[in-house]
Structure 1
Amino acid sequence: MSAITPLEQCPALILNADFRPLSYFPLSLWSWQDAIKAIFRESVVVVSEYERVISSPSHQMRLPSVLALKEYVPMERAPAFTRFNVFLRDGFECQYCGDTFRTQELTFDHVIPRSRGGRTTWDNIVTACQGCNLAKGSMTPRECGMFPMTDPVQPSIFELQENGRRFPPNFLHRSWGDFLYWDTELVDQ
């Protein structure tokens, strides 16, 4: 007899009405409870299901693993300017040394230091490791010879989504693959 998957390990991937995930990073997931509520509200279509079955006194159903919204939710025009989105834009790479780091090991750097009139904006902030940030200090790139690998610019929502696809979360159910990795080559088996 196989072990029953705990309910907490059965989130549903949420797709927009065009069958693309609402977001890739963080991945658009709903708890099993929210997924069930949406099914009964008839605001979603069940695309795929887990093997896990839940029951009430009058009803039995398999938990959904992928849901699509019936109504399209337009994406924001400009992404929020957050520390995490800067890291995502830069691919979690220090823009000075090029090494990749985990989020908690990163900081951000003002290319033109604030002490020199630099502003905290998309076009003046880059991802930096702590060592490079300390080495650069309050100098300009020309003064210290440290130039960002890519010019900082405001990304589009699409660019952040594309970058997010390169950093999958720890848990991916097999039924989600068709909706998360449209750019992978199909292999004939």
Structure 2
Amino acid sequence: MTGAAQTYPALVLNADFRPLSYFPLSLWSWQDSIKAVFLERVNIVSEYDTVVRSPSFQMKLPSVIALKQYVSLDRRPAFTRFNVFLRDHFQCQYCTDSLPAEDLTFDHIVPRSRGGRTSWENVVTACQDCNLVKANRLLKETGMALMRPVKEPSTYQLQENGRSFPPNFLHESWRDFLYWDSELET
């Protein structure tokens, strides 16, 4: 096998054949996917044409694998900066500009200096300009308004939001398992 094998990720599906996550897309390295095959934790659904070999064994690299045991996605999503951005569609909730994550920040609707908590219901995605304008003031003091009401999202809602952001690389064998809001290249 060539050094290019590092570029052969496997799409990981839950036992119901849906991706574990859309954003980031649930991918395992070729090494992790082969290990899971040997440990009998996954079924191979599709393969690349590339073969890995040892002195006594050879196999095609898996391109799509499905877990044998279902992983429940009913748990509460982690409160992270990335998940706040994902909940808010990577859009400033004040001016509605869509920006890459590195150009976004988050803002406390009720500033911490005024008793605001760091929670799903009090933190929104903001561009740096709007965050500076709002500063440590309340919305009614600034004349600014939120795009939409804020609340804690479900894992399902974050998954659905993630479908709006297809990754740069989509292998042909993954198309039957991914449902993006944008059309896949042919």
* TM superposition score category, shorter chain reference: over 0.9
Say if 1:46 and 1:67, in contact at 8 Å, map to a contact too.
yes
Q: How far apart, CA to CA, are the structure 1 residues paired with 2:64 and 2:44?
A: 6
Q: How far apart, CA to CA, are the structure 1 residues paired with 2:59 and 2:92?
A: 47
Equivalent residue, structure 1, for 2:68: 70
Equivalent residue, structure 2, for 1:34: 32
Of 76, 91, 94, 1:93 maps to 91
Deviations 1:3-44 (A, max 9, x none): x68111101010010001111122111110111111111111
What is the percent sequence identity of the aligned residues? Answer: 65
Length, aligned pairs only: 183
Normalised TM-score (structure 1)? 0.91
Deviations 1:76-127 (A, max 9, x none): 4210000000000000000001010000100001111112211110001100
Q: Does 1:128 pair with 2:159?
A: no
Q: Go from structure 1 to structure 2 and tell me whether the alpha carbon gap of 1:93 and 1:45 turns closer, same or farther (over 3 Å shift).
A: same
Q: How far apart, CA to CA, are the structure 2 residues paired with 1:140 and 1:177?
A: 46
Q: How far apart, CA to CA, are the structure 2 residues paired with 1:20 and 1:64?
A: 16
1:1-189 residue pairs with structure 2 within 5 A?
6-181=4-179
Normalised TM-score (structure 2)? 0.93
RMSD across aligned positions (CA):
1.7
Superposition deviation, residue 173 in structure 1:
1.0
Q: How far apart, CA to CA, are the structure 2 residues paired with 1:46 and 1:148?
A: 46
Q: Secondary structure at the match of 2:137?
A: coil
Of 161-170 and 81-90, deviating more is: 161-170
Moved over 2 A (4+): 182-185
**Partner AA of 2:16 in structure 1:** D
Say if 1:5 and 1:52, in contact at 8 Å, map to a contact too.
no
Q: Which structure 1 residue ranges, 5 or more long, are not aligned? A: none
